[in-house]
Structure 1
C-alpha cells in the first residue's frame, strides 16, 4: 500500500480565464456579416446635395427711392404744419365771425313797359362782428354781394375795403342794383307768392376775400362765404319792408 499511486488533479481547461491571446476577434456589440466583415467597420454614408447660391438682393430703382423720400418729406411737412396750427389755436383761440341782416330797403322796383325789364335797387344793412381778442380781419377788394329770389338774381353789389379790429362790430349799409329781363313773369311770381303765403323768401350771398391778422402776422388771402336766408313781407318801392326772419351761415374757403 506504500506504493499507492498518487493522483494529482488536472486543472479544467474550460474554466481557464481568457487571455488577450484568446480574446474574440470581433468586439462586443458588433455583428458579423455573412462575408465575415463586421458591419460597424463600413464607413458612414454621406449624401451630397448640389450647392445652391442665394440670389443677390435686387437694388432699388431711383424712382422708388425718390418716391420714398417725397412721401417722407410730405409726411414731415404735414406733421410740422399740424403742430404749428395746434400752437396757434391754443395761443389765439380763434372764433368764427358773425353776420346778420338788420334791414332791407327797396328804393327801386319798377317795370319797364317798353322791353318788360325790371330794375331793382336795394339798400341792405349788414352787421359784421369779430369776436376775437387777438385776431384782426382785413376785408379786401373783389367782393361780390348778390340778392336772389328762387333761381333769379335780383341785384348785386360789393362790400368796401376796411380793417376790422379785435372784438369789433361794424355796421354796413350796402347798395345793390340789378336789371331782370323777364320782369313781367317775375312780378307775377312775386304777387302769387305773397297771396299764397303772405311773405317773400330771399337769399343773400356774400363772397368776400379777406386776410386774417394773427398778432402782427398777416396771413395769406382767403375767402369768407356768407349765406343768408331772409323772409320779407313784400317787395315794392318806397314802402316799409319788414324782415320777418333772418339767418346767416358762415364758411371759410382757402
Structure 2
C-alpha cells in the first residue's frame, strides 16, 4: 500500500472513531442528565415513606382443630395509611394484606384496590381476611395453645405491594412496599375449640413498621 493510501485509511479510521464517540455522547448524555435531575429532585424533596396504622381488628372466628392442628380464621381489619409528604403523591399500584402467626401465613392475601394518595392525605381500608383449615406445623400448634393459656396471642397483619412517587407530572418507577402491624389479641374461654367469641372487636391504633 502506498503512503498516500495508508494515510487515507488512517483518516477514515479517525473519522469512524469520531463518529462512534459522537453517537455515544448523544446516547449517554440524555441518560446522565435525566439521572442527575432525578437525583436532585430526590435530594430536594426527599420522599418519606407512608405511615401505616392498624386501627382495629374484628375477630369473627379463630378456631384451631386439635385433631388436625389446622387453623380457621375470619377477621376484618381497619388499616390506614398517611402520606406525610407535602409535595409528593403516592400511587398504590398493588397491595395485598394477610395475617401471620409466628411468621406462618394463616389467611389468604386480600387485594386492596389501586389508589392514589395526595399530599398529606389519609386512606382507610377495611378488608376481610380469611383462612380455612390452614395446616399448622406441630410446634406452632403447641405454641398457639401456650399463648392461649397465657391469655394473649400475637398476630401480625402484613401488607405487601408496589408504590410509585408522583412529583408534579413526573412519576417514578415502582418500589416494593412491606408493612408489618403487630396485634396482640386477648383470649378468653375457648369452649368448643374457639379461642374467642364471635365478632369480638379489638381497638388497637397500633403504628406499623414500614419498609420501602
Structure 1 and Structure 2 fold alike (TM over 0.5): yes
Query: 1:232 and 2:179 equivalent?
Result: no
* Structure 2 CA distance for partners of 1:88 and 1:206, relative to 1, 3 Å: same
Within 5 Å, give how 1:8-157 maps onto structure 2: 83-110=36-63, 117-141=70-94, 143-156=95-108, 157=110
C-alpha displacement of 1:247: 3.8
Query: 1:248 and 2:208 equivalent?
Result: yes
TM-score, with structure 2 as normaliser = 0.68
Name the structure 1 match of 2:163.
210
* Uncovered stretches (5+) of structure 2, i.e. residues with no partner: 1-20, 188-194
What is the DSSP-based 3-state SS (H/G/I as helix, E as strand, rest coil) of the residue aligned with 1:84? helix
Show structure 1 runs of 4+ deviating over 6 A: 76-79, 112-116
CA RMSD between the two structures: 3.3
Q: Deviations over 1:131-166 (max 9, x none)?
A: 11221111113x322211114321132222111111
* Structure 2 CA distance for partners of 1:93 and 1:201, relative to 1, 3 Å: same
* Structure 2 CA distance for partners of 1:181 and 1:170, relative to 1, 3 Å: closer
Aligned residues: 180
User: Is contact 2:60–2:200 with CA below 8 Å preserved after alignment?
Assistant: no
User: Is contact 2:179–2:209 with CA below 8 Å preserved after alignment?
Assistant: yes
For 2:49 and 2:154, how far apart are their aligned partners in 1? 26
The structure carrying a bigger strand percent of its residues is: 2
Q: Deviations over 1:60-115 (max 9, x none)?
A: xxxxxxxxx9xxx9xx9997577434420354342221001010111233456996
User: Is contact 1:131–1:166 with CA below 8 Å preserved after alignment?
Assistant: yes
TM-score, with structure 1 as normaliser = 0.58
Q: Which has the larger radius of gyration?
A: 1
Q: Which has the higher contact order (CA 8 A, sep 6+)?
A: 2
For 2:71 and 2:206, how far apart are their aligned partners in 1? 25
